[in-house]
Amino acid sequence: MKVLIANRGEIAIRLHRTLSEMGFKTVGIYTEADADWPFVHEVDEAHPVSSYLNVEEIIDVARRSGAGAVHPGYGFLAENPTFARAVKEAGMIFVGPTPEAMERVGDKAKAKEIARSVGVPTVPGSEPSDDPDAILEAVKRMGLPVLLKAVGGGGGKGMKLLRDERNLREAIVSAQREALGAFGDGRLIAERYVFPARHIEVQIIADDTGKVLVLGERECSLQRRHQKILEETPSLALDDKLRERLYGYARRIAEGVGYTNAGTVEFLYDEERGEFYFLEVNARLQVEHPITEMTTGLDLVRLQMDVALGGALAVGQEDIRRVGHSIEVRLYAEDPERDFLPSAGKLEQLEFPMMPGLRIDTGVIEGTVVSHLYDPMIAKVITYAPDREQARRKMVEALKRILLFGPKSNLHFLIYLLESEEYVSGRTYTHTVGEILRRYLEEDFRLPEDIEEFVRRLRSRRERSPKDEETILYERIRPAIYP
């Protein structure tokens, strides 16, 4: 059977590799901007499309290529019930939850109602509304700080933290505009801002028999602009009793919506109150799924396919064993000095180290042009070790060995974050990245502009010796960057 991968970049390559191991042929899609990207050449066959969001066009490619199933990856149409329904109506298998389950959990307000109905605590908040004045009144009743959230989707789109009484209405209108552009839905909810808080998610997978397996939790508190840049498992914040309560909450919600396939149930953890608050369900595979694979030995894409093909999960909850510690960081083409704004450009030099316990999931190679049109991720860097400190040290060393020249990246900031007192001690919360960033910007440890300019000039030379001047330069300045 052929499986169409309705996605691009790193996740398209990651899906292709497991699907190939399972004996499936893969069909890729690509836009004009991605025509030279590695995933186009990695899949068994690839077809051009005008957009990764064009449902009719993608279904047509799937039909013409003879695909029997469609895997959406994450992002784009992954949590779109209209797309999932269109795949099924076309006589193909959708690798993910049912459209009905997506609809139940895709609306944040409805998902919170389901959580409350099964006895799971939720953050106190307002009813959804697209009326700026009604939202403003709700905010005033609750009292600041308040977090605005888009009803129609996540990923930080339409999310704003309101701390100051000035310009409240303007902030609400701005959040609505962003939500409408991202999801076609301008409705917002206002929630009490839990501070300090940890963001912890639970990986689940369920089959059509009603079996729901919990594959462990992931700590996702380190975020910028409400989007994750570092995840790890297990969470240092949980003991066995708290973990059991959290897993019970996740299982109740999954059973309450009749969930199937892979997904995550996300929570805020208020350490001061010792309470979990349900946030949302991500009805798809998550970017950070590799750290769960590293600690359980399971291949989540393989499990997804097993469920999608109608089989009952062969493993039970008693078979799930988590060993060791795993960390994932997201290496982005973005500029920490400009509030992590995306940074497009050609990857003039890109080399990753090879180390035991290191996994690199990437969709780019040296020479790839990172476009401003799509997510600017360069790679996911994942480490595994018997304990957290060993995994942390391994991650720091792996990042220091990466050779990356081209667009601005968050590489140096990730190292700084991993070596911070907050991270080493495990005292990490949803606001921690902002505090560390302020210190980072005050310290002058990055490459001087004149050296960066010299490196650019060296890259422009066409003739290279086996050990060229650029590499020699890097070896000379590396001790100064990472003393």
Please tell me the distance from the alpha carbon of residue 3 to that of residue 9, in angstroms, as a whole number.
16
The residues, any chain, with a CB within 8 Å of residue 241's CB and separated by 6 or more, are none
Length of the chain, in residues: 483
Q: How many CA atoms lie within 13 A of 249 on its CB side?
A: 30
Q: Quick check: is 284 catalytic?
A: yes
DSSP 111-146: HHHHHHHTT--B--BPPPBS-HHHHHHHHHHH-SSE
**How many C-beta neighbours within 10 Å does residue 30 have?**
20
Helix (H) or strand (E) holding 4: strand 2-5
Q: Provide the CA 471 distance to its chain's centre, in angstroms.
A: 33
Is the alpha carbon torsion for 185, 190, 196, 199 positive or negative?
A: negative
d(CA 280, CA 109): 9
**CA dist., res. 480 & res. 436, Å (int):** 21
Task: Please give the C-alpha separations between residue 310 and each of 32, 94, 96, 263, 442, in angstroms, as whole numbers.
Answer: 36, 11, 12, 17, 55
Joined together, the tokens standing for residue 298 give: 């399971």
Q: Dihedral of the CA atoms 21, 22, 23, 25 (nearest 10)? A: -80
Give the Cα separation of 297 and 385 in Å (integer). Answer: 13
Question: How do strand 67-71 and strand 2-5 relate by DSSP bridges?
Answer: parallel
Catalytic hit among 14, 218, 252, 284: 284
Catalytically active residues, by annotation:
284
